[in-house]
Amino acid sequence: MTIGFLPALGSGIRSLAEAGQLSRLLDGYMRPYADAFGEVLYFSYLPESLEEFTSDPALLRRVRVFAPAQPMSRGRRALTMARAHADEFRRCRALRVFQITGTIPARRATKRFGVPYVTTYGFWYAQLSAPGLMGRLKRPLKARVEKRGLHDAAAVFATTEELRSAASRFSSRVELLPNGVDTQLFVPAGTALRSGPLRVLYVGRLSPEKNLETIVHATSSLGAGA
């Protein structure tokens, strides 16, 4: 059985590697899916090949990357991907979409070839807009992408209860699937107070959807000694 992977809009293996998430993609997704289904097709937005990131013969044998021959805008790639790789999309039994922005080519593949897709819903995409006029102009478009992406999905994986509730307004099947945590590395601290200044440790990407500004505001009352 063949499963297709669709990354977030404009993303690819290289961008995940630059964000420190290469192992998560290769060992957390590609390898388990290849073991379970047999073959994985990864549709990238970036000119790249799997050989740039791994020499593992098992992965190279069962995972194939389909990428543009040269750089192109992410919007154009999203709108032309299903046509450019029509034969490969037809081979897929289902599509696994990473984040709601990846549903743009997925919806086209569903409409053209009848291939169902499952998407992750991990943040409020419609609310993630830069401040200013351009941000306000883009917000309705993002809301439309979000709504249609959820509506047409065969299933949605929501990472929080709040997002599950929101997705249920548009999708008939929503599963709560929180992001995984290595419980050997991240465990609750003891109840005893430590000496020295208070610290808040954030582990993750420095990207807008993480909303780190809220952490800064929430901890500002701790004072300069924190």
Residue 186 is predicted with a pLDDT of 78
β-pair partners for 108? none
Look up tokens 């034969």; give the residue. Answer: 87
Handedness of CA 214, 205, 161, 135 (dihedral sign): positive
pLDDT by residue (tens digit) across 8-27?
A: 999 999 999 998 899 999 99
pLDDT by residue (tens digit) across 183-222?
A: 777 777 777 777 777 778 887 777 776 778 888 888 887 7
Q: Which CATH number, 3.40.50.300, 3.20.20.70, 3.40.50.2000, 1.10.510.10, labels domain 2-182?
A: 3.40.50.2000
Model confidence, pTM: 0.83
Residue 173 is predicted with a pLDDT of 95
State the number of CA atoms in the 13 A half-sphere of 92 facing the CB: 31
Residue 224 is predicted with a pLDDT of 60
Q: Give residue 191's region: left, alpha or beta (phi > 0; psi -120 to 50).
A: alpha
Distance CA 99, CA 139 (A): 17
Question: Using an 8 Å Cβ cutoff, are 125 and 142 in contact?
Answer: yes
User: Residue 225 above 60 pLDDT?
Assistant: no
3-state secondary structure the chain: CEEEEECCCCCCHHHHHHCCCHHHHHHHHHHHHHHHHCEEEEECCCCCCHHHCCCCHHHHHHEEEECCCCCCCHHHHHHHHHHHCHHHHHHCCEEEECCHHHHHHHHHHHHHHCCCEEEEECCCHHHCCCCCHHHHHHHHHHHHHHHHHHHCCCEEEECCHHHHHHHCCCCCCEEECCCCCCCCCCCCCCCCCCCCCCCCCCCCCCCHHHCHHHHHHHHHHHCCCC
pLDDT by residue (tens digit) across 102-132?
A: 999 999 999 999 999 999 998 877 666 566 6
